[in-house]
Structure 1
Amino acid sequence: MDRFSVHFCDAIRDYLYFRERRYPAKSVLKLICDRYQLDAAERTMLFRGITLPETARTRLAKLCGTPAAGACFHVDYFNQCLIIVSYLSGNRVFISCDGVLRDASGFHGKKIPEHLFIRSVELIVQTLESFRPGGIIFYADSQISGAGRLASVATELFGHTSVSCHMLMTEKADEALASVAGGIICTADSAIIDRTGLPVFDLAKYVLEHTFNPVFSDLRNICAS
């Protein structure tokens, strides 16, 4: 179980206090993080993991359990893979107050360990294949450094699967996923979850829970305390 700084719970309490009164998120985040001198991971957890109670309830209501056979999956490729990479790297992953697993690693702009990325793709493809889906579409953001090379990891596996798999490279993966009309969305991106009217499957969380024996820090418990 992760250990947090002595003032992390106070930071969560104060952050929610100001957010519930509709103060701007980024301004409040800087104020609270500086006040309690939170480290980089805790700052990210506060930003990604804490949201207004009504928003958290709405997102939680969209989460679905193990999908039925024949479902079509729309996967936020880098979002889901990098959460697993974070776990495999020993970095902090956590359950947000909306029930979704997220990471605090901040790989954006940093070199992604490719051997772990390859492993994450293998785990995701194997897991999805076990559901006997009607089809799988991966949405890869082309603006991420090395996107084409990292996307090719999945396409190389497609020839060894028994289901229909496709990779869609796009400049705005979030918009493409939010506009999907049918099937199941696999993402931890809060903006996509808020916009979609489709069921959301926490694929990264499922993969980790059914492959390893993780003990995730749950911000819902920390907030409750």
Structure 2
Amino acid sequence: MKVSDNFFRAVCDYRYLLERDYPQKSMLKLVGDRYALPAAERVMLYRGLATEDQVKNRKEKVIRQLPPHTRITIDGFNVCRTVGSYLNGNPVFVGMDGLLRDVSELHRKKLKWEVLEKAVDFILQFLAEKQIASAWFYFDTPISHSGKMCALVNSRLPHYRLSGTAETVFSPDYELIQTTKGILCTADSNIIENAQVKVYDLAHQLILERFSAKLFSFPEYLLNKKEEQC
């Protein structure tokens, strides 16, 4: 993913304001307009940058390897849409916290059903190879196709000899935050910061392992720019 010439300066300004607790949406407009950033790069700032304390807190919760024979609870749309976006060729990137983000998500771009079907199959195959004990998917009831996604996952679980189920709930965030057993699979920052168990960035690890993907990474980007100190 190529970024504009002004992106680094925008990142520096945004991080400065973020650390000083300025209103995020206001400073996003201020910085975005100042450097004439395209929409995708504004989303990258908003979703990819975090304070040093937030980054530290999230990294303490996240694990890089999924232990076998583990029960996992999955943020359904978060994981499926991120994998689907990558399969669809939409921009995805790694935030300062090391978690995978989807640029298109905030623009409400809909993925074709066949792309989501492929994403589900890739996810279930990946989990089967990791020899998990069971997988419990939660999808947002208010979001369209949530019932259809549940039916798809439930119909495919036996094919991969996986135990578990998929269901719709009004707030997957609540269900995941309340979980006290196993491991959570999400890249949602609010869930991670409030999680009571460890978190695994399923979409990120799947894309790295299955496709050997070369993704834009804020930590790597800033490391390469270290001679241009913010």
TM-score range, shorter chain: over 0.9
**SS at 1:106's partner residue?**
helix
Q: Match of 1:92, as an amino acid?
A: P
Say whether 1:171 aligns with 2:162. no
* Deviation per residue, 1:163-188 (Å, 9 max, x gap): 31211211111111111111101001
Correspondence for 2:117: 118
Where do 5+ consecutive residues of structure 2 fail to align? 226-230
User: Contact 1:12/1:223 (CA < 8 Å) preserved in 2?
Assistant: no
User: Which runs of structure 2 are paired with 1:164-203 in the superposition (5 Å)?
Assistant: 164-203=163-202
* Deviation per residue, 1:108-167 (Å, 9 max, x gap): 644321111101100111111112222110011111122211222211102223231211
Worse overlay, 10-19 or 63-72: 63-72
User: Contact 1:109/1:145 (CA < 8 Å) preserved in 2?
Assistant: no
Q: Match of 2:76, as an amino acid?
A: Y
| Pairwise CA distance, 1:219 | 0.5
Q: Match of 1:58, as an amino acid?
A: N
Q: Match of 2:138, as an amino acid?
A: Y
| Pairwise CA distance, 1:199 | 0.9
User: Contact 1:138/1:167 (CA < 8 Å) preserved in 2?
Assistant: yes
* Deviation per residue, 1:44-89 (Å, 9 max, x gap): 1111100001211111121112222211001111101111111111
Say whether 1:20 aligns with 2:19. yes
Correspondence for 1:159: 158
Correspondence for 1:78: 77
Correspondence for 2:60: 61
User: TM-score scaled to structure 1, two decimals?
Assistant: 0.95
User: TM-score scaled to structure 2, two decimals?
Assistant: 0.93
Say whether 1:9 aligns with 2:8. yes
User: Contact 1:13/1:223 (CA < 8 Å) preserved in 2?
Assistant: no
How much is the aligned-residue C-alpha RMSD, in angstroms? 1.4
Where do 5+ consecutive residues of structure 1 fail to align? none
| Pairwise CA distance, 1:107 | 6.3
Say whether 1:143 aligns with 2:110. no
> Which has the larger helix fraction?
2
Aligned partners of 1:80, 1:67: CA distance in 2, in Å?
15
User: Contact 1:81/1:204 (CA < 8 Å) preserved in 2?
Assistant: yes
Q: Match of 2:4, as an amino acid?
A: S
List 4+ stretches of structure 1 deviating above 6 A.
Answer: none
Identity of aligned residues (%): 34
Q: Match of 1:47, as an amino acid?
A: Y
Aligned partners of 1:92, 1:110: CA distance in 2, in Å?
12
Aligned partners of 1:97, 1:111: CA distance in 2, in Å?
26
Q: Match of 1:137, as an amino acid?
A: W
